[in-house]
Amino acid sequence: MAWIRVALLAGVILLLSQLNRWTIFDKLFFVLGGLLVVAYFWSRFALSGLVITRRTLTDRAHVGDLLIEQVELENRSRLAKLWIEVIDHSTLPGHRLSRVVSLGPGATVGWRAKTWCTRRGRFRLGPLVLRASDPFGLFERQLLVPETRELIVYPALVDLTTVRLPAGELPGGSALQKRTPFVTPNVVGVRQYQPGDSFNRIAWSATARTGQLMVKEFELDPSADVWLVLDGDARHHVVAHGVAGAGDTGQRVVGVILDSTEEYAVTITASLARYFLDLNRAVGVVASGGSRVVLPADRGARHLVKVLEMLALFRSDGRAPVQETLLTEQTRFGREAVVIVVTPSTDEAWVKALAELTTRSVRSLAIVIEPSTFGSEASSLLVVSELTALGIPFVLVKYGDDLRRLLALPMGAIAISR
């Protein structure tokens, strides 16, 4: 540390002053001693009276969104702060909040950090460390501001509103004879109002007729569920390398940075989930990463949040092949259900497992991510040939493809309506 060197120098000068009668050594010793004393007490008050606040508009974001964080540092003491270094220890990639500022007595300084969210996941904003020193840099002081906030970055969502699937093309079926808290087109009766019932379920005609507050009862929509199966087998996922546009920032597809088969698969799954939920379809998700996660088929905005939170933390670090996932979870796929498999796997075994589901009247669509376009030696040529031979509709996704245009192909509509 700097003050130790100055103290040693002062000691040497003191020794020299005792060995000879040069008064300059005595004066120099007192100057260095006074410098150490002044610097020490200056540093003691360097971080006193400081108040720092940080604010963000939201604790949720999507890949491709701009996160803005506002920081204010206030000096409530009567002493000026020549320099204060604000060091941020956030885990959000590319978040540059650190800065060096100076403040006068009672002054306030503020700045904003703008960060593009390029990676999905759960990140920490904070803590902060304030660092200051005396004017000579001899004594350094640090103050930890332990306050932290959690930020969840959801996967990117591709706008699929250009897809036009007529309602009649969606699979139907017989009534399920099962009550549901959701409002559906299938009204099966009325009952007396109970605390907690939504006001939009009130049957006004029955209420006027009986003189009591009555509510409608609904059954589940007979339309089949849509199941999204996300393959997280680490043996088939690759990061883009050795291809045009690959690098630290990846390829921008529909304004979003994607640089691996994993990111393509997660983005496609999240986009399809939002699309079908916007159509009021019941959507279930099966993700086979390090551990298999299953979200039962449900509908509504709240269910979309569950899907996005699960996908935000998804990692393709599993060892279970996608065909094993299909066979294990096949009991969840009811008759006339729609199963959409999103995978970069080049193993034809999963195609046969998907074909077996069609024997139970389960409709299917395969979204195959071509690993060879990401720089891998593996190719999905045999998988595509097998899908074609078995008559299973598929979409082939390559590195750099426009997902909005690709997922709007009629092939997707065929898979839903066959």
Instruction: Answer yes or no: is pLDDT of 414 > 80.
Output: no
- pLDDT band, very low/low/confident/very high, at 137 (cuts 50, 70, 90): confident
Q: How confident is the model over 154-170, as a mean pLDDT? A: 63
167 occurs within a structural domain: no
Q: CB-side exposure of 29: number of CA atoms within 13 Å?
A: 14
pLDDT of 167 reads 35
Calculate what percentage of the chain has a pLDDT beyond 90.
55
Task: Write down the pLDDT at residue 222.
Answer: 56
> Looking at the predicted structure, is the pLDDT value of residue 234 above 80?
yes
- Residue 162 falls within a domain, yes or no? no
Residues 12, 110: one domain? no
Cα gap 51→72, rounded to integer Å: 8
pLDDT band with cut points at 50, 70 and 90 for residue 5: confident
345: domain range?
Answer: 226-417
Q: Which whole number is the average pLDDT over 284-303?
A: 93
Residue 123 falls within a domain, yes or no? yes
Which pLDDT tens digit goes with each residue over 332-347? 998 778 999 999 999 9
Treating both helix axes as pointing N-terminal to C-terminal, what angle do 23-44 and 2-19 enclose, rounded to 10 degrees?
Answer: 160
Higher-pLDDT residue of 89, 134: 89
Q: Which residue has the higher pLDDT, 188 or 214?
A: 214
| 3-state secondary structure (DSSP) of residue 173 | coil
Q: Is residue 257 over pLDDT 80?
A: no
Is residue 252 located within the same domain as residue 341? yes
331 and 203 in a single domain? The answer is no
Is there a domain that residue 166 lies in?
Answer: no
Q: Which pLDDT score, from 0 to 100, does residue 256 have?
A: 59
Query: Which residue has better confidence, 203 or 175?
Result: 203
CA 156 from chain centre, in angstroms, equals 8
* pLDDT tens-digit series, residues 74-124: 999 998 998 999 999 999 999 999 999 999 999 999 999 999 998 999 999
- pLDDT tens for each residue of 20-69: 777 888 888 888 888 888 889 988 899 999 999 999 989 999 998 999 99
Mark whether 99 and 35 lie in a shared domain.
no
Q: Report the domain count for the chain.
A: 4
Q: Pick the last residue of a domain from 163, 191, 219.
A: 219
Quick one: 392 and 261 in the same domain? yes
Here the CATH number for the domain that contains residue 129 is 2.60.40.10
C-alpha distances (whole Å) from 327 to each of 3, 352, 375 are 70, 11, 30
- What is the pLDDT, as a whole number, of residue 187? 65
Mean pLDDT of the chain: 85
Q: What angle do CA 141, 145, 151 make, to 5 degrees?
A: 145
Q: Give the pLDDT confidence score for residue 417 in this predicted structure.
A: 38
Cβ-contact 343, 366 below 8 angstroms: yes
With 90 as the cut, is the pLDDT of residue 203 above it?
Answer: no
Other C-beta atoms lying within 10 Å of the C-beta of residue 345: 25
pLDDT at 416 over 60: no
Rg value, the chain, Cα: 32
Tokens 């907690």 -> residue: 196
Cβ burial of 60 (10 Å; 0-12, 13-18, 19+) is middle
Q: Give 362-404 as a DSSP string.
A: -EEEEEEE-GGGGT-S---HHHHHHHHHHT--EEEE-TT--HH
Are 95 and 6 part of one and the same domain? no
Residues 284 and 387 reside in one and the same domain? yes
Is residue 13 domain-resident? yes
